[in-house]
């Protein structure tokens, strides 16, 4: 038996969740089961594919950053900026009363490559300043002060470019609008939080690396105790 319906004025995901919560409460006879089809099944398949693609993209970003920085910890500090952008995405969707759909997920994937650049600018400058002999704290402060202007300029340029998409004018604009709103919210939140969180995370990781190296050198410097030799009389 196939039961179908059209959704008007609401999201397919919310309606499907509400329907399934009631259908699952029905006791079915042995041998019967319920499956989802149509737009709901297609949407679930797309969501799974998008999540897998997002995971692969993050892993590729990490591997590239490891090669460029020559460190396993510095890229982790950069990748912390990725979940910070999700705060802005959720806030923008809540304010505009949008849902997490295919277009907003595409916007999240775009953000993964966009918001990481701010953290890369900060950490790359901080590492360069430390190579000149600057202390860790002074290098991070100088990085934030020097890189603030290009970070703000690129953020404003991206927000300005996404405003027409987010406003949703023209034919089919309602379908594209969540992408622009997700990108705008994610970029703004990431820019504000990256300048505070990323230097702190980098300092924590750098202190941990120095502690680990000092502990390793201390153990390596301890000479091995020679075995005691028994002398026979």
The pLDDT of residue 18: 78
Q: Using the structure block, give the residue that is written with the tokens 């042995």.
A: 30
Q: 1: pLDDT confidence band, cut at 50, 70 and 90?
A: confident
The pLDDT of residue 227: 54
Q: Is the pLDDT of residue 66 over 80?
A: yes
Q: 230: pLDDT confidence band, cut at 50, 70 and 90?
A: low
Q: 177: pLDDT confidence band, cut at 50, 70 and 90?
A: confident
- Domains of the chain (ranges, CATH numbers): 38-219 (1.20.1640.10)
Higher pLDDT, 47 or 184: 184
Among 93-102, 204-213, 220-229, the minimum mean pLDDT is found in: 220-229
Q: Specify whether the CB–CB gap between 5 and 40 falls below 8 A.
A: no
Calculate what percentage of the chain has a pLDDT beyond 90.
Answer: 3
The pLDDT of residue 173: 72
* pLDDT tens profile 67-119: 888 888 888 888 888 888 888 888 888 888 887 778 888 888 888 888 888 88
The pLDDT of residue 24: 79
The pLDDT of residue 119: 87
DSSP 169-205: -STTHHHHHHHHHHHHHHHHHHHHHHHHHHHHHHHHH
Q: Specify whether the CB–CB gap between 115 and 194 falls below 8 A.
A: yes
The pLDDT of residue 104: 84
The pLDDT of residue 174: 74
Q: Specify whether the CB–CB gap between 158 and 183 falls below 8 A.
A: yes
Q: Is the pLDDT of residue 14 over 80?
A: no
User: Using CA atoms, how far apart are residues 181 and 179, in angstroms rounded to an integer?
Assistant: 6
* pLDDT tens profile 180-208: 888 999 999 888 888 888 888 888 888 88
Q: What is the 3-state secondary structure (H, E, C) of 18-67?
A: HHHHHHCCCCCCCCCCCCCCHHHHHHHHHHHHHHHHHHHHHHHHHHHHHH
């Amino acid at each position: 038996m196939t039961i179908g319906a059209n959704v008007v004025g609401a999201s397919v995901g919310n309606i499907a969740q509400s329907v399934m919560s009631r259908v699952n409460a029905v006791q079915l006879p042995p041998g019967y089961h319920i499956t989802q089809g149509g737009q709901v099944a297609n949407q679930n398949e797309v969501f799974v594919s998008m999540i897998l693609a997002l995971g692969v993209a993050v892993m590729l970003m990490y591997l590239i950053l490891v090669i460029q920085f020559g460190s396993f910890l510095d890229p982790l500090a950069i990748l912390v900026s990725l979940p910070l952008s999700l705060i802005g995405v959720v806030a923008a969707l809540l304010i505009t009363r949008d849902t997490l759909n295919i277009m907003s997920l595409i916007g999240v994937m775009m953000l993964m490559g966009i918001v990481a650049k701010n953290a890369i600018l900060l950490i790359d400058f901080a590492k360069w300043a430390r190579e000149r002999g600057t202390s860790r704290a002074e290098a991070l402060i100088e990085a934030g002060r020097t890189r603030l202007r290009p970070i703000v300029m690129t953020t404003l340029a991206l927000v300005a470019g996404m405003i027409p998409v987010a406003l949703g004018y023209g034919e089919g604009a309602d379908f594209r609008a969540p992408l622009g709103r997700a990108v705008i919210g994610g970029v703004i939140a990431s820019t504000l939080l990256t300048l505070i969180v990323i230097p702190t995370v980098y300092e924590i990781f750098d202190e941990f690396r120095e502690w680990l190296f000092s502990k390793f050198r201390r153990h390596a410097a301890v000479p091995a105790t020679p075995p005691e030799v028994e002398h026979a009389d």
